[in-house]
């Protein structure tokens, strides 16, 4: 099995027993989803969509420290945060576009019926969340379902994919 998947070609998480993956989707306690969920099986290796530096390795859940997140900060000081990824880049490391940043963890062990995915959010230095959809999700399927939306592939991913295909 090819261990490397490219975020740019993975679909958004659609509706499942636990909710939906789009930006602004309702969450428990009247909150809204402040990022997007990108469907991917556990073990999928994810590439950085931006140039930046690894500024944080964190823990989404206080009661289960096996789950992790990795934060990459761009030169414009946007914090790109990837949840439920096992970090594969060290704190302080350069995370250039196309570098492998982490491996998708198995959320299905925590939430019954959830689509396996990782969460991607962009937080500004003043604490506002930007919508990553506008950066990466453009194309609707004929069904018009969020599930069928395709993550747009940034040029570096395309180059990487072409290189990878040639080598295989």
The least CB distance from residue 15 to Zn ion, in Å, is: 13
Question: With CB under 5 A as the contact rule, which of the stretches 92-100, 114-122, 129-137, 149-157 interacts with Zn ion?
Answer: 114-122
Residue 81 sits in the site that holds Zn ion (CB under 5 A): no
The least CB distance from residue 147 to Zn ion, in Å, is: 15
Question: With CB under 5 A as the contact rule, which of the stretches 40-48, 58-66, 112-120, 149-157 interacts with Zn ion?
Answer: 112-120
Question: With CB under 5 A as the contact rule, which of the stretches 24-32, 38-46, 111-119, 129-137 interacts with Zn ion?
Answer: 111-119
Question: With CB under 5 A as the contact rule, which of the stretches 46-54, 55-63, 95-103, 117-125 interacts with Zn ion?
Answer: 117-125
Torsion angles phi and psi, residue 3, rounded to 5: -75, -10
Near Zn ion by CB under 5 A: residue from 104, 119, 146, 147: 119
What one-character-per-residue DSSP string does the chain give? ---B--GGGPBBP--BTTB--STT-B-GGG-B--SEEEE--TT-EEE-SS-EEEEEEE-S-TT-TT--EEEEE-TT--EEEEETEEE-S-TT-EE-TT-EEEEE--GGGTSTTPPPEEEEEEE-TTSPEE-THHHHEEEPPTT--GGG-EE---HHHHHHHHHHHHH-
Residue 37 sits in the site that holds Zn ion (CB under 5 A): yes
Number of residues in contact with Zn ion under rule CB under 5 A: 2
Which residue's CB is nearer to Zn ion, number 83 or number 160? 83
The least CB distance from residue 118 to Zn ion, in Å, is: 8
Q: How many Cβ atoms are within 10 Å of 53's Cβ, its own excluded? A: 16
Q: Which two tokens stand for residue 99?
A: 């570098």
* Strands 150-151 and 117-123, sheet pairing: unpaired
| Closest residue to Zn ion: CB criterion | 119
The least CB distance from residue 163 to Zn ion, in Å, is: 30
Could you list the residues that contact Zn ion (CB under 5 A)?
37, 119
């Amino acid at each position: 099995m090819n261990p490397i998947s490219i975020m740019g070609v993975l679909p958004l998480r659609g509706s499942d027993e636990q909710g939906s993956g789009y930006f602004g989707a309702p969450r428990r306690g009247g909150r809204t989803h402040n990022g997007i969920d990108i469907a991917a099986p556990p073990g999928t290796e994810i590439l950085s969509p931006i140039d930046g530096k690894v500024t944080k390795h964190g823990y989404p859940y206080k009661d289960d420290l096996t789950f992790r997140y990795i934060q990459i900060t761009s030169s414009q000081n946007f914090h790109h945060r990837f949840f439920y990824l096992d970090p594969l880049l060290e704190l302080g490391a350069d995370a250039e576009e196309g570098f492998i940043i982490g491996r998708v963890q198995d959320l299905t062990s925590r939430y019954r019926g959830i689509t396996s995915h990782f969460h991607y959010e962009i937080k500004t230095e003043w604490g506002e969340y930007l919508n990553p959809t506008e950066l990466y999700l453009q194309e609707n399927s004929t069904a018009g379902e969020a599930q069928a939306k395709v993550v747009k592939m940034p040029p570096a991913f395309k180059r990487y994919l072409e290189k990878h295909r040639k080598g295989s």
